[in-house]
Amino acid sequence: MSEPATAPAPSRREFNAALALLAVAHGGLSSAARLVADEKPPDLLTVAAEALSAATKARYGKYLTAEQLAEVEKSIRGGVFRAELMRKVALTNADEPAFAFSADV
């Protein structure tokens, strides 16, 4: 008898990316329902931060107190918004890092 072919298990990075996309999609669906009621478009950064916070709470919630969870959520929100600010900076191929290397002699 031949063994049934199984798909390889996803890596941690692929799994986390899929989890984040699922959470964002779910948040987008609930946001779509709110959009019909409020006629106000949802902020995608807020939805992404909420999704990452929910994933963190689901995975590590049993190890953290309420205060620690609040700090983690605050850190996640800050990271998401800082990343968006960095994405808005236009760089060209000629831009160099903002530091100068000098070897210690």
| pTM attached to this predicted model | 0.53
Tens-of-pLDDT digits for all 105 residues of the chain?
555 566 677 788 877 777 777 776 666 655 555 555 556 767 888 888 888 999 989 888 899 999 999 999 999 999 999 999 988 988 888 888 777 778 887
Q: What is the DSSP letter of 65?
A: -
b/e burial code for range 31-45 (CB count within 10 A of at least 16 → b): beeeeeeeeeebeee
> What local confidence, expressed as pLDDT, does residue 93 receive?
87
> What local confidence, expressed as pLDDT, does residue 39 receive?
62
Question: Which residues have CB under 8 Å from 50's CB, separation 6+?
Answer: 23, 27
Q: Which two tokens stand for residue 6?
A: 């199984």
Count Cα atoms within 13 angstroms, Cβ side, for 55. 19
> What local confidence, expressed as pLDDT, does residue 73 receive?
92
What ranges do the domains of the chain cover?
12-87
